[in-house]
Amino acid sequence: MLAALYLTLHRKLKHKTFDRTFRKLPPLDKLDKLSAMWSFLGTLLMLLSGVIGIWWVKRENLQGMAPREIGIFGVLAIFLFAAGARRALGWRGRQHALLVLAGFTALVLANLAGLHGFHF
C-alpha cells in the first residue's frame, strides 16, 4: 500500500500534476521510509514463519511442499533482496517501491496457487 502510494506521488511529482490526490498524500521521503520499515518487519516475520515451518516439516516427517510454501520462499527472496539492495546499493525510492510491489504481487499469487490446490 505504502509502496503504491509512493509510486503514485512519484509519478505526480515527475509529471508535475498538482491535483487533489497530490495534496493529500504525505511526503515522498516519509512514504519511502515507512514502506521500507514495514516491508522489513514483514520480511522478518516471514523469515521466522519459514524457519518454524521447516522445523515443523522435519518434526512431523512430512514430505513434499505445496506450491504456496515454495512461492513463499520466492516472495521472501524478493523482500530480502529489496532490503539488502536498499542498504548496500542505495536502491531507495522508486526501485525499492517496485521491488516491494513485486514481492506483494508474488505473495498474492502464491496464496492463490495454494487456494486452487496446485501440487508439484
Partner 1 sequence: MSDNANAQPRIFVLGANHLTASVSLRDRLLFGEAALPEFMDAMLRDGVVSEIAVISTCNRSEIYGVAAEPREARPKIEKAWAARNGVSEDEIRNHGYFFTQDEAVRHLFRVIGSLDSLVLGEMQILGQVKDAYQVAAQNRCTDFYLNHVFQSGLHTGKRIHAETGIHEGAVSISYAAVELARKVLGELQGRVVGVVGAGEMGELAAQHLHKAGCRDFLFFNRTLGPAERMAAAFGGEAYLMPELSERMAHCDILISATGAPDIVITRDQVQNAVRHRHGRPLFLVDIAAPRDIDPGAGEVGNTFLFTIDDLKNAVSGNVELRRVEARKAEAIVEEEAVKVEAWARWLEVVPVLRALREKYQAIADREVEKWAAGQPELRSQLESLSRGLLNKFLHDPTTRLKHLGEQGDGPRASYYADLLFALAQEEKQEKQHGSS
Contacts 24+ apart (CB under 8 A), 69-74: 70/110, 70/120, 71/106, 71/107, 71/109, 71/110, 71/111, 71/113, 71/114, 72/46, 72/107, 72/110, 74/106, 74/110
Q: Which of 71, 103 has the CB closer to partner 1? A: 103
Residue 31: CB minimum distance to partner 1, A = 9
Residue 97: CB minimum distance to partner 1, A = 11
Q: Which of 20, 59 has the CB closer to partner 1? A: 20
Residue 8: CB minimum distance to partner 1, A = 12
Q: Which of 41, 87 has the CB closer to partner 1? A: 87
Residue 13: CB minimum distance to partner 1, A = 5
Question: Helix 93-115 to helix 28-59 angle, to the nearest 10 degrees?
Answer: 40
Cβ–Cβ < 8 Å for 2, 35: yes
Q: Which of 46, 97 has the CB closer to partner 1? A: 97
The site for partner 1 (CB under 8 A) is made up of: 9, 13-14, 16, 18-20, 22-23, 25-30, 86, 89-96
